[in-house]
Amino acid sequence: MPVLMKKETRLLHAGRNPERYHGAVNVPVFRASTILLPSVAAMESGGRSLFEGVRYGRFGTPTTFALEEAVAELEGGVRTVATSSGLAAISGALMAFLKSGDHLLMTDSAYAPTRKFCDEILAGLGIETTYYDPLIGSDIAQLMRPNTRVVFTESPGSLTFEVQDIPAIATAAHEGGAIVMIDNTWGVLNFQPFEKGADISIQAATKYIVGHADAMLGTITTASEALWLKVKSSVAAFGHSPGTEEMYLGLRGLRTLPVRLAQHEASALTLTRWLEKRPEVERVLYPALESDPGHAIWKRDFRGACGLFGLILKPASKAAVDAMLDGYHHFKLGFSWGGFESLVIPTGGHSIHRTATQWRPTGPSLRFHAGLEAVEDLIDDLEHGFQRLADHS
Ligand SMILES: *Cc1c(COP(=O)(O)O)cnc(C)c1O
């Protein structure tokens, strides 16, 4: 076997075992709750071995283990736990390490449901969250307390696109005795979290890993076996196990992730460069652009980008912006991202809920996902949109 294999190649092999499945290229969909065990002794063995091998559907089947192996490869981590959604991965990872009386540092740019989980569920359990400026860097040391257990990052923020200095944050967090988690959904293949100091990396696999807008799935990958066991125990205790069909779709999506992602990135670059020059546009939020404030850190830490970017328009009426969005042919209105189809959402009018920092763009803000349509068609769609914006102003 060749010694060197690039990540794209390794992702084609990861988790597969055709010899075991009659030569079938893909790992089958295992439909199982009950697993028949050979003896009472096997049944009674508890503890850690509960999570090794196939024992009960909720703890995982060969389909689960194939997906987990492949995602560990993608993230460059030691082991992965699959969950029923991206949000279940976030809540599952947080609950594995936080208990009453603990303190959590959460980026102010976090995905809104992550914030809601902290404010509603963690607060109710006596776990305190302090939000911090995503651009804080090593100054996060000043926010660390003796009971700070977790520092949570998301880079770039999926609505506001601030690129975080993960190595600086991780160094300070580790010095203070906390572990570092990252929501790596935007970075997916292009940010190697463990090389940059993270201990736990989360994917909303619903987005680029599944890649076709047809399944909900999440993953939690860890830097060590010991962290994995904590996460696995917690996720199993909550019962966050994903459906087998969803895991199959995740595995299937993963094989083509590198080529899809390259196209999403290329289209987003073309679109953002075009948008930057438009008179209707105040600012484009996309770290791969040289003009983006996060570009230097992005260039240092990422090996590429994806199809998701933000846009701040010059001041315009809501009616005009709504007409622009309602009339798009290719940029459909819908939540989520990472599928083959282009999407757009308005991102909270003139402000986004923040507590540590302010987010007050000077005009309407939007978020786009560049899908796999020909980029000429997407530009044409945007151009007609600006015409509607003008017509309704
Ligand atoms: C969508 C998303 C999630 C949540 O994933 P679901 O599968 O929808 O639960 C988490 N983080 C980010 C950055 C996301 O975009």
Residue 165, ligand 1, Cβ within 6 A: no
For residue 154, the cross-strand partners are 183
Average pLDDT over residues 175-195: 98
Q: Identify the band that residue 1 occupies on the pLDDT scale cut at 50, 70 and 90.
A: low
Q: Is the overall model pTM greater than 0.95, yes or no?
A: yes
Residue pair 35/70 in contact by the 8 Å Cβ criterion: no
What percent of the chain is predicted at pLDDT more than 90? 92
- In 3-state terms, what secondary structure has residue 285? strand
Catalytically active residues are 58, 111, 183, 207
pLDDT of residue 4: 74
Average pLDDT over residues 83-96: 98
Residue 183, ligand 1, Cβ within 6 A: yes
Closest Cα to atom 5, ligand 1: which residue? 86
Predicted confidence (pLDDT) at residue 287 exceeds the cutoff of 70: yes
Residue 86, ligand 1, Cβ within 6 A: yes
Contact partners, residue 113, CB within 8 Å, separation at least 6? 87, 90
Q: Which domains does the chain have, with CATH numbers?
A: 7-255 (3.40.640.10), 257-391 (3.90.1150.10)
156 Cα to the center of ligand 1, angstroms: 13
| CA–CA gap between residue 381 and residue 393 (Å, rounded) | 19
Predicted confidence (pLDDT) at residue 383 exceeds the cutoff of 90: yes
Strands lying side by side in the sheet with 218-222: 79-83, 218-222, 200-203, 179-183, 148-154, 103-107, 128-132
- Strands 281-285 and 308-313, sheet pairing: antiparallel
- Strands 79-83 and 103-107, sheet pairing: unpaired
Q: Identify the band that residue 44 occupies on the pLDDT scale cut at 50, 70 and 90.
A: confident
Computed on alpha carbons and rounded to an integer, the radius of gyration of the chain in Å comes to 22
pLDDT of residue 121: 98
